[in-house]
Amino acid sequence: MAAGFAAEPAKIELVTRRLEKIAREQITKETLKPRLTIESPLSPQLMTLILAAEIQKFSPFGQGNYEPIFSMPAGTVLKASPIGKEGRHLKMEVGYQSEGQHISLTCIGWGMGKLVPDFHSGRNVELAGCLQINEWKSRKSLQILLKDVRLAVEVAI
C-alpha cells in the first residue's frame, strides 16, 4: 500500500520529525511481524488440477484480489533440492497418504533455498501456499507455490 502528501519545503524537517515520533509511538515489533492470511485448510484429497483450474478463473490476482493461500496438513518430505541461480530457491516433493492412496506434490519456494538442509527426506513438514498449474512441454501438473513452510511439530502421546 502506498500513500502520498505534499509539504512546504521549509517544513520538511518538522514533518519528518513528527512522522518519526508518531512511528515510534505506534509501530511495535508485533506490528512489523509478517502476517500470512490463510484462506482455508486444504486436505490432500482436494489438492487437484481441477481445483487449481477453478481458482485460476478468479485471476488476475493482485492488490484487492489476492490469490488464496491454503494451509496443508503435515506431509513427508520425499526430496528437497536447491534450484535456480546460486540455489536461491527450494524445490521439494512432499508425500501424503490419504484414503489408501499416495499423493505426491511438487512445491516451489522462491527465495527459500537456504532452507534445503532443514528439509531432508523423511522429515514431516507443514505447508502454506497457493495451488498452481505448472505446464511444461504440454504436460500439466499441480504444484504448490510455497508462502511458508515449517517442520511439523511432533506430538508425543
Percent of the chain with pLDDT over 70: 96
Write a three-state SS string for 130-142: EEEEEEECCEEEE
For the segment 129-150, what is each residue's pLDDT rounded down to a tens digit?
999 999 889 899 999 999 999 9
Spacing of C-alpha 3 from chain mean position = 26
> Taking the domains of the chain in order of start, what are their residue ranges?
40-151
Higher-scoring residue by pLDDT: 103, 41? 41
Q: What CATH class is the domain 40-151?
A: mainly beta
Looking at residue 106, its pLDDT comes to 93
For the segment 23-58, what is each residue's pLDDT rounded down to a tens digit?
888 888 887 887 888 999 998 888 889 999 999 999
* Strand partners of residue 151: 125
pTM: 0.74
Higher-scoring residue by pLDDT: 89, 29? 89
Amino acid identity of 13? E
Cell numbers given for 156: 508425543
CA dist 151 and 74 (Å) reads 8
Higher-scoring residue by pLDDT: 34, 122? 122
Average pLDDT over residues 98-122: 89
Does residue 82 carry a pLDDT above 60?
A: yes
Write a three-state SS string for 68-121: CCEEEEEEEEEEEEEECHHHCEEEEEEEEEECCEEEEEEEEECCCHHHHHHCCC
Does residue 156 carry a pLDDT above 80?
A: no
Looking at residue 29, its pLDDT comes to 83
